[in-house]
A and B are shown apart, each in its own frame.
Chain A
Amino acid sequence: MIEKERIPMEEQPGPRSKEELDANKMPFEEYCRKVFDPGNEFEKPAALSGVRWMSCTMYIFTPHAVSNLAELGAEVVKIEMPRMGDPMKHTSPFNECYYYPLHDERPMTGQGIGCVNANVNEYFITMDYHREEMKEPFYRLVRMSDGLTECYRPGTFDRWKQSYRYLMEINPRFIYVWGGGFGYGPKVFGGSYDILGQSHAGLASITGFHEDFGGHPVKHTNWCIDWYSGTMITVGVLAALYWRRKTGLGTMIEFSQVQCATRCCGYGVPLYGRFGIVRQRWGNWDTQLCVHGIIICGKSDYPDAKNPQLRDEARYVMVSAFNDPDFKELCNIIKRPDLYEKYQKHKDRVEAEAQVEIYDALEKWAADKSRSEVVKILTDAGLLAMPVYNDMEVYESPHYRMRGTVRWQFDPIFGDQLVHSTYSCGLMSKTPRRKFWDFRPVGADNVKIYHEMLGYPISTIKEWYDKRLI
């Protein structure tokens, strides 16, 4: 008792205030909600404040790598082609969704939502690298920035005297990132597409239904491999920033998009290397766990809906019962205890022929039920099951709304937009990510950057604009 009194209050372990005491006793869920505080991100600092980056990028892969930095608080300047903008701005699903304007000179051309989420929070300027007059502003920007990311064919920036061996002379702290399809080697000039990444890397050969069942390899939706590869660059950039704190030196990173897709092929590569076995597709089931797959139910959850995605497609369920007691319970529910008798050990039921038999039985059982019925029966029995959700259900989900993953934002230029990026990359309690805007018209920040940051007079900017240098 006396010992404790001698230690000053501030130095004793445990909560130091009532707030802290409350925080420590709060139920965990409530604690998480309080500490992450979705919706109030702007009150907290940004992790990468003070970092400035140049985005000489196009399409999705390299822009996303830089956009991650912008979401974390870096100031990013995106450089586009004069009047045209990023080519990605001209894509839109089924040609249907565009925001206007792209540029006042082309009032009937919009910015497609194909490039949404890829250039978040950035300042958009235009610059024609081919023109000699633009070298000086480019170098000024380099001297004032921490790094750049570019995606032009190798040798292009070098010809324009903008590659790393030139830039490291004027800014030794500069971090230079080249992102593209292949990198040095025989296919160095190969163009890089997301779909090329999937097909060359072996990822497409292991996704889709098996050949024996009449299946073909299938493409991952939209361009998600582009995005996945882009984030890997960001990891490299942040590591380079860390190392630079110690040594004061920048670096050059050469990054191949197609390689990232091979990196995520899991056991496929070592399996081939050691045993010569080439992994094949296995559809909606899992090669290493059983039962752990997606089954089709007899009825959709919205039989009267107008939208075909609801009326016809909302009938798939992800079921997972690979541990022995779970599998036993599952067999009881589908009234096939013989399956459990036959496949009591996981090693037996994960074999290919066994999986065919088991899933067939599962789908027969589900053939007269709707998706939510199946999920309810399994969940009530304590097993893990979840519907395969579609975009509408994600929008209406109380879970994502509460966590701020899906939210509406009124974009400064384009108005109301439904956002599912940025905040969804992760909750950070002290330096959360945030989104100010999605994209901006071509050249929207020419004055802001050229005049206010780089010090060029307005008359010069007007002249450049008329000469189509910017």
Chain B
Amino acid sequence: MAKEVEIRSREDTFKLTSCDERPWPVTPPPSEEEVMKVYAKRKAEEFGKWCEDNLRFEYAWSKPEALQGVRVLEVGLWRLSHMFAASLLAELGAEVIKVEPPEGDPLRKLTPFGREEYMLEDQYTGEKCGLEFIHEMRNKYSITLNLETEEGRELYKKLAKTVDIIFEGYPPGWTDEMGIGYRQLSEINPRLIYVWIGQVGQWGPWKDRVSKFGQWMLEPFGQCACSFVHNTGYPPDLMPRGKGGDPTRSGVWLADYVAGEQAAVNALAALYWRDEVSGEGQFIEVTAAEAMMDILDFDITWYGFNASIKARTGSWDPNLNQYAWNPCKDGYMMIGGQTDRLWYRICMCIERDFPQFGRLITEDPLLKEMAARNALEALVKTYTLTSRWLRDINRIEAEQKLLEYDIAAGPLLYIDETCEFPHFKYRPWIYTIEDEHYGTILYATPPNAFQMRTPARVKWLGRPLGKDNEEIFMKRLGIDQIKLRELKEKGVV
């Protein structure tokens, strides 16, 4: 149904795109019958059906939770690292309490370009919360506690006695000085697994710093400290320096995520050891820079091999040809295929439309051998000619043409396209949740949600500040709401 709309500001667009006007998904996911046909093409219908019967996302709610009974505290400000670590455990069923100062985690107030209209408002209190915080506040309780006061710390210690794992993200040594660090807490709870997650370290010559005025060190310091940023981006030979030909950071706080997940791995391994073997907790330290360094493939090993310092290569890969994305008519198209078989198939596909490609590529003796195709000149030539083909077609066409030849190719999707991609709707990795406070929210589902017996799930998203004070203080500390009011007046809570 067409209608006339006048748009004079950004705010005017919200009425058109809100989830009431334009609910997700815009087009329905493919049907089960259509998908069965896909399985049938490779004679795997029975297996495909068995998989779906056992792994479907929607069945998660009738299955138990893997980490039920595990108790976790999350205490830290600004960063996503400890939040992500705790999220991973919370999605799998652990009981996670986020301890925030009475003003709340400052991450609640961050929003893209400072635009408050992108924040979600609690329907009861009117309090606004940024989307970054909401997206990572999964299945967690929020309590407030002022750790700067002595009474607040005493309460924190009592709480720490009742938990299995703590993820902490304060500046180096702060909790120790306050008497609530690992040294002190392990005395009263020797079974405690205590994980500190930071940027570069809580000890050592480059340990995390706080600025003279009290500002914390946040991502992407971690990415810069381990050479990730240096190794990512376009070289100035392919794009002008200062306009893209520079070391580039990841668009997201990637090292925080990487540190968070390694912290979750280490914490769960420590839990296993504690319960299976020793009965003891331990102190664990994970840093964004080092966790990121672990996954830089061979970059630093290469230096030890022959003093090479990894250089950046943009969206091309120095190890494989073709393995890159290049610009096309409506965006960017990724084509992958290193082996000879795939290489020649790509040629066959492209030369149907662009015979010059076939000629210039297949006649060239320099491109005959697989290893020789990784030479820089070969990459330049191959991708220049590929773009010459791509500039005339859009992503869907390119994908269809390449798939006919069984080449792994895919369009570079923008976030809205990712959210509407048929496969990602059928096997949901974007999903909606109706939250009591914030309304309908679209979120990225946990990758661990596809399990036979104990799938991960998101039970709630976002949590107003201090919502669970009454419940947690009563259940864990035996403090009733009258006492809680007194504590609040004193500024302890």
Contact = CB atoms under 8 A, between A and B. Distances in A.
A–B contact via C-beta, under 8 angstroms: yes
A272 B292 CA distance: 28
Contact of B442 (A218, A242, A274, A322): A274
A322 B201 contact: no
A308 to B, nearest CB: 7
Contacts of A223: 297
Contact of A383 (B212, B249, B310, B452): B212
B485 to A, nearest CB: 31
Given A262-B429, A276-B13, A384 B217 contact: yes
A421 B181 CA distance: 28
Interface string B337-375: 000000000000000000000000000000000010011
Interface string B256-269: 01100111111011
A458 interface: no
A204 B334 CA distance: 11
A283 B305 CA distance: 32
Interface stretch (A94-102, A124-132, A440-448): A94-102
Interface stretch (B130-138, B141-149, B466-474): B130-138
Interface stretch (A2-10, A135-143, A153-161, A332-340): A153-161
B111 interface: yes
A190 B200 CA distance: 38
Interface stretch (B1-9, B97-105, B409-417, B475-483): B409-417
B384 interface: no
Contacts of A267: 112, 118, 130-132, 135
A221 B336 contact: no
Given A29-B173, A228-B258, A274-B442, A208 B14 contact: no
A327 to B, nearest CB: 9
Given A45-B277, A320-B217, A320-B218, A199 B413 contact: yes
B444 A263 contact: yes
Contacts of B416: 272, 276, 278
Interface in A347-406: 347-348, 350-352, 381-384, 386-395, 397-400, 402-403, 405-406
Interface in B386-424: 408, 410-419, 421-424
A189 B42 contact: yes
B415 A390 contact: no
B427 interface: yes
B301 interface: yes
Interface in A52-108: 60, 64, 68, 72, 91-97
A391 B290 contact: no
A342 interface: no
Given A202-B418, A426-B263, A429-B284, A72 B269 contact: yes
A1 interface: no
Nearest to A219: B315
25 contacts: A28-B177, A155-B44, A159-B44, A184-B35, A184-B52, A185-B35, A186-B30, A187-B422, A193-B323, A193-B336, A218-B248, A227-B297, A236-B448, A264-B254, A272-B442, A274-B18, A275-B13, A284-B249, A292-B218, A310-B309, A325-B213, A389-B224, A390-B310, A394-B293, A405-B293
B418 A262 contact: yes
Contacts of A381: 212
A289 B306 CA distance: 39
B66 interface: yes
B110 A200 contact: no
A425 B269 contact: no
A276 B17 contact: yes
A427 B70 contact: no
B291 to A, nearest CB: 6
Q: Is the interface of A mostly helix, strand, loop or mixed?
A: mixed
Contact of A269 (B205, B217, B306, B443): B443
A113 B42 CA distance: 35
Nearest to B80: A266
B243 A213 contact: yes
A216 interface: yes
B453 A251 contact: yes
Contacts of A384: 209, 211, 215, 217, 221
B461 to A, nearest CB: 8
B232 interface: yes
Contact of B446 (A218, A263, A422): A263
Contact of B298 (A29, A113, A393): A113
Given A228-B258, A239-B66, A158 B44 contact: yes
B43 interface: yes
A419 B262 CA distance: 18
Interface in B18-77: 18-19, 22, 24, 30, 34-35, 38-39, 41-44, 47-48, 50-52, 54-56, 64, 66-67, 70
A200 to B, nearest CB: 5
Most buried by A among B253, B317, B417, B440: B317
A112 B211 CA distance: 43
The 7 closest A-B CB pairs, nearest first, are A273-B442, A276-B17, A382-B212, A418-B304, A155-B44, A227-B295, A206-B251
Nearest to B297: A222
A182 interface: yes
Contacts of B306: 96-97
A393 to B, nearest CB: 8
Interface in B115-159: 116-118, 120, 130-132, 134-136
Given A214-B244, A350-B113, A391 B295 contact: no
A264 to B, nearest CB: 5
Interface in A23-60: 23-24, 28-29, 31-33, 35-36, 45, 47-50, 60
Nearest to A422: B294
Contacts of A196: 334, 336, 408, 410
Given A252-B451, A282-B251, A403-B204, A218 B300 contact: no
Contact of B302 (A97, A158, A185, A422): A97
Contacts of A320: 211, 215, 217-218, 221
Interface string A232-257: 10111011111101000101111110
Q: Is the interface of B mostly helix, strand, loop or mixed?
A: mixed
A316 interface: yes
B433 to A, nearest CB: 10
B451 A426 contact: no
A207 B236 CA distance: 17
Contacts of A350: 113-114
A48 B453 CA distance: 22
B283 interface: yes
B24 A273 contact: yes
B452 to A, nearest CB: 4
Contact of B244 (A208, A286, A390, A398): A208
Contacts of B292: 224
Interface string B306-328: 11111110111111100111010
Contacts of A148: none
A394 B300 contact: yes
A228 B135 contact: no
B220 interface: yes
A346 B181 CA distance: 32
Contacts of A228: 254, 257-258, 261, 295
A348 B115 CA distance: 10
Nearest to A305: B309
Contacts of A243: 64, 66-67, 453-454
A436 interface: no
Given A392-B309, A418-B303, A242 B294 contact: no
Interface in A194-214: 195-196, 199-209, 213-214
B415 A278 contact: yes
A228 B84 CA distance: 13
A219 B314 contact: yes
A460 interface: no
Nearest to A288: B110
Interface in A298-329: 307-310, 312-313, 316, 318, 320-323, 325-326, 329
Contacts of B285: 32, 36, 426-427
